[in-house]
Amino acid sequence: MKASQLWRGGIVAAVGSGLVLLAGTVPARAAEGAGETPSAMVASYKTLADAILAVKKTEANLVRSILTAAHERAEAEMGRVRAALKRNDTKGAQDAIEDVAAAVGQIGSEGDSSVGAIRKRLLEGGHHHNADGEAKGIYDEGFVIVTKTAKTQFLDAAKAIGQLAKAPKADALEAEWTKVEAAWAALMK
């Protein structure tokens, strides 16, 4: 079933796995004027538009939550790295650095592969959250929050951080983390 469909005088929208009846059968009233859309249908269409726009806002909030969770994971792993480096625990630092790099990469990719699969499904269904931004080259196809510029910043930082796992150095790691935090602040304002 498509996201919405016109059904003989009434409008029905697919929401989740069920159907929500937005308006019953609405007879065209001659009193509304020739060629004029009946007011009940206009009101129902307005309500449907409100619902669609609310879903778009909800998608943005959900993606922002996914990004925040990844950032918080990266921050926690940075704490593990710092503690391991203070203890001269090279193996612990290496493991935590790899986890930082993975979390930063998820920020740049706007989620992991399971989120990417959902984004792909939405695109295949014709949903482009930032269609205008995609057309202007600001967003990659299907991205909701992370711009192309931010994506590059996070993925470059993730790669650089991952390289530091070979030979952990606190100053180099802190320099890369500063880049992550600057990109994060710019993205979340």
Q: What is the pLDDT of residues 105-135, one digit of tens each?
A: 999 999 999 999 999 999 999 999 999 999 9
pTM: 0.78
Q: Are strands 18-21 and 10-15 parallel, antiparallel or unpaired?
A: antiparallel
Q: What pLDDT shows up at residue 32? A: 60
Mean pLDDT of 56-61: 95
Q: What pLDDT shows up at residue 8? A: 33
Percent of the chain at pLDDT exceeding 70? 83
Cα four-point dihedral sign 109, 124, 65, 139: positive
C-alpha to C-alpha distance for 108 and 151, rounded to whole angstroms: 4
Number of neighbouring beta carbons within 10 Å of residue 135:
10
* Region of poorest pLDDT, from 12-21, 60-69, 96-105: 12-21
Whether the predicted pLDDT of 189 surpasses 70: yes
pLDDT single digits (tens) 150-184: 999 999 999 999 999 999 999 999 999 999 999 99
C-alpha to C-alpha distance for 62 and 68, rounded to whole angstroms: 10
Tell me the CATH number for domain 56-188: 1.20.120
Which helix (H) or strand (E) segment is 106 a member of? helix 90-108
Give residue 186's pLDDT band: very low, low, confident or very high (50, 70, 90).
very high
> At residue 39, what are phi and psi to the nearest 5 degrees?
-60, -35
Contact of 104 with 74, CB cutoff 8 Å = yes
Q: What pLDDT shows up at residue 25? A: 47
C-alpha to C-alpha distance for 37 and 1, rounded to whole angstroms: 25
Whether the predicted pLDDT of 66 surpasses 80: yes
- Nearest partner of 139 among 123, 117, 124, judged by Cα: 123
Instruction: Tell me which range, 3-17, 26-40, 171-185, is most confidently predicted by mean pLDDT.
Output: 171-185
Cα four-point dihedral sign 122, 126, 132, 138: positive
> Where does residue 55 fall: left (phi above 0), alpha (psi -120 to 50 degrees), or beta otherwise?
alpha
